[in-house]
Amino acid sequence: MSLDPKSLKYTTTHEWIYLEDGPGGAKTATVGVSDFAIQALTDLVHVELPEVGRKLQVGKPLGEVESVKAVSDLYSPVDGEVIAVNQALILPDPKTKSVNFDVLTDDPYGTGWLVKIRVTGGQSELLDYETYKKQCEELE
Amino acid sequence: MDPTLLRTPLFDWHVAQGARMVDFAGWAMPVQYTSIIEEHTATRNAVAITDISHMGRLRFEGPGAAVFLAELLTRRVADMELGQIRYSLVTNDRGGILDDVLVGYYHDSYGQPFYVVVVNASNRQKIVDWIHAHLPQERAEIPGREVIFTDLSRLWAMFAIQGPKSVDVLQPLMNVDLQWMRYYRGTRVQLLHPGAQRQGGIISRTGYTGEDGFELSVGTEIAPAIWQAIIEQGKPLGLVPCGLGARDTLRLEAGMPLYGHELSEKIQPFEAGLGFACHLVGYDFPGRDALLQIQKAPLRRVRVGLEMCGQRVPRQGYPILLDGQQVGEVTSGTFSPTLKKPIAMGFVAPEAAKPGIELKVDLRGRAEPAHVLELPFYQRDRRRV
């Protein structure tokens, strides 16, 4: 099920983040790329994601999104450890032998999520939906 | 959009279509309308139209035009027949590449012959200045050898209609038989459309996509009507407008060099694989003596095609490695929509240039395997054209 974009927090670098209580009192963060960023990229050809277990630092690259025209870094919005990676963005479709990025373009707040992180420390300054939307409108 | 950017006659149309507009060599140009991959695929499988009115078009006429161009361009000009087009370079005195151009030989409606040299938008001013430096008034006005030079760039629009269905789209609008026009030929044409207001144009079987196709020049005032007529004619055949983004992926698959990437003043024609465009006996053009010397020496580096084994895309400036040592640099890279793999062109030391050899490309700190492929990456079925 897709998350409501209005309920999410955003980074200035276009990642969205959804925080929930995880096991053992630690928070779990689900991270994705905003619809605005996906629309701006178009023609996705590759998503580079970290392996499960990798330690992430707030504001440091966690992966990259590559389109025909350009590559963009993805930044971790929190300190933490990767506990899950969206396999749909990594594993090629057995029929076409290439990864289908439709989940990312069609459902960026649901099946197009990137990683789940067990939050161990601080988080970057996050924007609410309205503030993020305003930032995007200024970029248009 | 920066209001100081130059606009083609199709600017309003591009904006109305929701195209993503970018600054390209000082022009506001559409980089894509929908998706680069869709526009690319339409060109390979059906037909697409691209506004290339930003290209520089320079006209030369008069009894001295042929010799003047022969003494400016690396390729022979004086022996060209009417209707013929040639790819050529303009080199500086050291043999460095100032631009790559197409020179065509046509005649106007009064039967007067003239040449058109098509130059890159990014190099237009540089080449115009270069021409003025080599064509002072006393040179242009030698009795019996006069040369009249006109920059047509702002007076003419230019469209590229590219793809296997380009003949079908254009034929109803033209009074010449396009099917039998040969590749690298062109002619003056009457446009059979009320919007043309009885004006003519120039059509050539040329392009920058590796696909069959044409390039059409028409006056700016009739350009929107003719563009619209081609769109209407092409729609049932799958025609889409194609931006500069797909133009770049198409030319890269076709192994065609792009100025600022595979061509520059620091790159010599032979290492770029463009020796065929240099005719070193005959007319003396700037750089000829230097090129004669360079030709005798072994190549410093070679332009190659690379295919990546992984999915990450090489970009301009990335180092190319052989056994951990840098042997060259990527000049252009993209994801090939046809091969469904990242591809690149670059320059490497000759020992690293053999097809099949395993190299690595340093992709932002991670060396990833690639192998050398013979260019082009893509070649159309050329049984017909």
CATH code at B92? 3.30.70.1400
Flag whether A39 is in a domain.
Answer: yes
In a domain? residue A1: no
Candidates A68, A71, A98; nearest CB to B249: A68
CATH number at residue A126: 2.40.50.100
Show the tokens assigned to B264: 């520059």
Q: Are B309 and B266 in contact (CB under 8 A)?
A: no
Q: Are residues B138 and B75 in the same domain?
A: yes
Chain A residues with beta carbon closer than 8 angstroms to that of B339: none
Among the candidates B136, B151, B166, a domain finishes at: B151
Q: Which residues of B195-206 are buried (b: 16+ CB within 10 A; e: fewer)?
A: bbeeebbbbbbb
Domain of B322 in residue numbering reads as 299-373
- In the 8-state DSSP scheme, what is residue B84? B
Q: How far apart are CA B37 and CA B10, in angstroms?
A: 22
CATH number for the domain including B364?
2.40.30.110
Answer whether residue B2 is part of any domain: no
Average pLDDT, chain A: 93
Say what the pLDDT of residue A94 is: 85
Count of Cβ atoms closer than 10 Å to residue B324 Cβ = 7
Asked if residue B269 is part of any domain, the answer here is no
**Residues of chain A falling short of pLDDT 50:** none
Do residues B32 and B176 both lie within one domain? yes
- Name the domain count of chain B: 3
> What pLDDT does A98 receive?
83
Whether residues B161 and B124 fall in one domain: no
What are φ and ψ of residue B201, in 5° steps? -155, -175
Considering the domain architecture, whether residues B15 and B49 belong to the same structural domain is answered as yes
- Domain-embedded: residue A139: no
The pLDDT tens digits for A14-28 are 999 999 998 888 899
Classify residue B339: in a domain, yes or no. yes
Give the count of domains, chain A.
1
User: Tell me, what's the pLDDT at B356?
Assistant: 87
pLDDT of residue B2: 83
| pLDDT string in tens for chain B (385-residue length) | 788 999 999 999 999 999 999 999 999 999 999 999 999 999 999 999 999 999 999 999 999 999 999 999 999 999 999 999 999 999 999 999 999 999 999 999 899 999 999 999 999 999 999 999 999 999 999 999 999 999 999 999 999 999 999 999 999 999 999 999 999 999 999 999 999 988 999 999 999 999 999 999 999 999 999 999 999 999 999 999 999 999 999 999 999 999 999 999 999 999 999 999 999 999 999 999 999 999 999 999 999 999 999 999 999 999 999 999 999 999 999 999 999 999 999 999 999 999 889 999 999 999 999 999 999 999 998 765 5
Burial of B349: CB neighbours in 10 Å, binned 0-12, 13-18, 19+:
middle
Residue B88 sits in the same domain as residue B164: no
Do B246 and B218 share a domain, yes or no?
A: yes
* Long-range contacts formed by B326-331: CB under 8 A, 24+ apart: B326/B362, B327/B351, B327/B352, B327/B359, B328/B301, B328/B304, B328/B352, B330/B306, B330/B361, B331/B261, B331/B262, B331/B303
In a domain, A4, yes or no: no
Residue for token pair 């691209």 = B50
The ipTM value here is: 0.89
CA distance A65 to chain B (A): 10
Say what the pLDDT of residue B104 is.
98
Nearest to B36 among A42, A48, A66 (CB): A42
Instruction: Give a yes or no: residue A23 inside a domain.
Output: yes
Instruction: Using DSSP, state whether B321 is helix, strand or coil.
Output: strand
Is there a single domain that holds both residue B223 and residue B211? Answer: yes
Residues B31 and B97 in one domain: no
Q: Are residues B174 and B48 in the same domain?
A: yes
**A75: domain range?**
9-133
Sign of CA dihedral A33, A36, A41, A42: positive
Task: For residues B45 and B83, state if they share a domain.
Answer: no
* Amino acid symbol at B99: D
> Which residues, 6+ apart, have CB-to-CB distance to B112 below 8 Å?
B61
Which pLDDT score is estimated for A123? 82
Q: Within a domain: residue A140?
A: no
Write the CB contacts of A83 (distance below 8 Å, at least 6 apart in sequence).
A28, A52, A116, A117, A118
CA distance B164 to B47: 6
Residues of chain A positioned with their CB less than 8 A from the CB of B334: 68-69
Q: Phi and psi at residue B9, in whole multiples of 5°?
A: -60, -15
Q: Please say which residue of B151, B186, B206 terminates a domain.
A: B151
User: Under an 8 A CB cutoff, do A99 and B311 touch?
Assistant: yes
Q: Domain check: are B42 and B114 in the same one?
A: no
Chain A: give the shortest CA distance to residue B4, in Å: 19
**Claim to verify: residue B62 and residue B202 sit in the same structural domain:** no
Listed residues B97, B127, B151: the one ending a domain = B151
CA distance A49 to chain B (A): 12
The pLDDT value recorded for residue A121 is: 85
Question: Could you tell me which of A89, A58, A87 has the C-alpha nearest to residue A75?
Answer: A58
Please give the model's pTM, rounded to 2 decimal places.
0.95
Pick from B101, B66, B91, B96: nearest CA to B80? B66
